[in-house]
Amino acid sequence: MPSNKSVSDAPIVQFTNCRILRDHRLQREDLWVREGKILNPEKLFFDEKGSADVQLDCKDSIIAPGFIDVQINGGFGVDFSLATDDFKSGIDLVSQKILSHGVTSFCPTLVTSPPSVYHQILPQISVRNGGAHGAGILGAHLEGPFISKEKKGAHPEHCLRTFEAGAFQDLLATYGSLNGVQIVTLAPEMRRSSEVIQELTKRGICVSLGHSVANLSQAEEAVQHGATFITHLFNAMLPFHHRDPGIVGLLTSDKIPAGRRVFYGMISDGIHTNPAALRIAHRAHPKGLVLVTDAIAGMGLAPGRHTLGQQVVEIDGLNTYIAGTKTLSGSVATMDTCVRHFQEATGCSAETALEAASLHPAQLLGIEHKKGTLNYDSDADFLMLNDSLYVQATYIAGEEVWRQDVSGM
C-alpha cells in the first residue's frame, strides 16, 4: 500500500488527561491538533506512522468547542451600531475581550439604524478568522429596521421601515450591500416579507423572525419560505396564547418542512426570560436552542449610561433599560455566564449546555462541518473548562489565545 504520510512538517500537539465533548457526550480521550485542525489519531498512527511533537496535560479539564455568539451588539464601551472613525479598532477590542468568555466566533449585530449608518458600518465588517488578535467574525447580524412598531423594544421608532413596492430592493437600498451579512431579523407579518425571505435565503443569508406581532400561520409561512431562526424567543413578540401561540408555536409546529430545523435564540441571563420559560422552551425543542448574549456596549463596564445605536440606555445591576423607561434593551451578560445559568435553570447536562452555545449556532449558520464540534478535520477552536463550566483557556486554530491567570483574575 502506498504511504499516506503527510508532507506537512507542522508540529502535532496532543492534549492529554481531558474529557472531550464529541458526539453529544464527554469522552475520556486525547485531542490531537495539527495546522489548526483536529486530527484523527488512527490515521496519524496507521497511515502516517506519526506521533505527537508536544504533549499538554489538561489536568482533567473538559475540552469543548468554542462558543459562537450570533447576537452581540457590542461591549466594553464599543457599540456596533455607532458609525465612528475608529469603528475597526472597536470591533477588534470586543473580539479580543470576548476570548475570556470562551467566544471564538461571533456575528456583530446592528440594531435598527438609519440607512446612512448601515452604509458606513457594513463595509467595515469583514468576515475573518479568529486568532491571537481575537474571535473570528462570521458576518453581520442586521436586527431591523424591517420590524414591528408594536414590538420594537429598544429599537428607535423613527428608523423603522416597511417593504414598499420594491420589497427586496428596499432592503438593499437600506443596507447598501449584503456583503458580509450573515443574519437578517425581520417581522414576517410585514407585507411582501415572503419574497424578501426567499431572496435572502437564496443568497445564503439566515433569516430570523423577531420584533414581531406575527401569528402562528404567518410564522409558519415564513419558515416555509426559508426562515430558520427566531430572535430572542419570548422577547419582543406576542406572548404565548393557547388559541394562537404566535412565533413561540414554531417550537412544536407540525408545518415545518421535512428536514428543516427551526432554531431559536435565548438570552439566558436570568433577566430577559424567567427560568420556567427557559425550561418550557428547552423541553419543547431542545435541539433548536441557541444561547445568545444580546450584549450591549455596557457589557464589561460599570453601571451607568451607555448607548445602543440611536438610544441611551441605563445599566442598573444586570438590568439594562432605555434611559428613563423600564424597556429592556439588550443585556450585559457574557456567554460563559449564559451557559452556566442555562444549565442551572434547566438542570440539563454539561454537554447540552455547551452545545447550545457551540454546535447549535454552527448548525444554524450551516458551518457545523468546521465549527461547533470537535470532529476530525474541523477547526481546532476549543475551550478548556472546569466541571462548573468556568473557562480556563481559549484556543483558536489550535493556538492558546487566552488563559485565566493563576491568581484567578
Assigned superfamily of 66-111+125-143+216-365:
Metal-dependent hydrolases (3.20.20.140)
What pLDDT score does 284 carry?
98
232 annotated among ligand-binding-site residues:
yes
Cell of 63: 475540552
pLDDT digits (tens, 9 = 90+) for 343-363: 999 999 999 999 999 999 999
154 annotated among ligand-binding-site residues:
yes
158 annotated among ligand-binding-site residues:
no
Rounded to an integer, what distance in angstroms lies between the CA atom of residue 212 and that of residue 190?
9
CATH number of 13-64+373-403: 2.30.40.10
Whole-model pTM?
A: 0.96
What pLDDT score does 47 carry?
83
Rounded to an integer, what distance in angstroms lies between the CA atom of residue 243 and that of residue 66?
40
Show the DSSP H helices in 160-290 as ranges.
Answer: 168-175, 193-202, 216-224, 275-284
Answer yes or no: are the C-beta atoms of 42 and 65 closer than 8 Å: no
Element containing residue 69 per DSSP (H, E): strand 67-72
329 annotated among ligand-binding-site residues:
yes
Rounded to an integer, what distance in angstroms lies between the CA atom of residue 370 and that of residue 365?
11
Q: Which amino acid is at 192?
A: R
Query: Annotated catalytic, 294?
Result: yes
Q: Which stretches of the chain drop beneath a pLDDT of 50?
A: 1-7, 408-409
What pLDDT score does 407 carry?
57
Q: What is the CA radius of gyration of the chain?
A: 21
pLDDT digits (tens, 9 = 90+) for 377-401: 999 999 999 999 999 999 999 999 9
Answer yes or no: are the C-beta atoms of 230 and 247 closer than 8 Å: yes
Catalytic residue among 294, 336, 379, 381: 294
User: Where do you find CATH 2.30.40.10 in the chain?
Assistant: 13-64+373-403
What pLDDT score does 5 carry?
43
pLDDT digits (tens, 9 = 90+) for 7-53: 468 899 999 999 999 999 999 999 999 999 999 999 888 887 788 99
pLDDT digits (tens, 9 = 90+) for 185-200: 999 999 999 999 999 9
283 annotated among ligand-binding-site residues:
no
User: Where do you find CATH 3.20.20.140 in the chain?
Assistant: 66-111+125-143+216-365
The answer, yes or no, to whether the previous bond of 145 is cis (omega within 30 of 0) is yes
Q: Inter-axis angle of helices 168-175 and 193-202, to 10 degrees?
A: 60
297 annotated among ligand-binding-site residues:
no
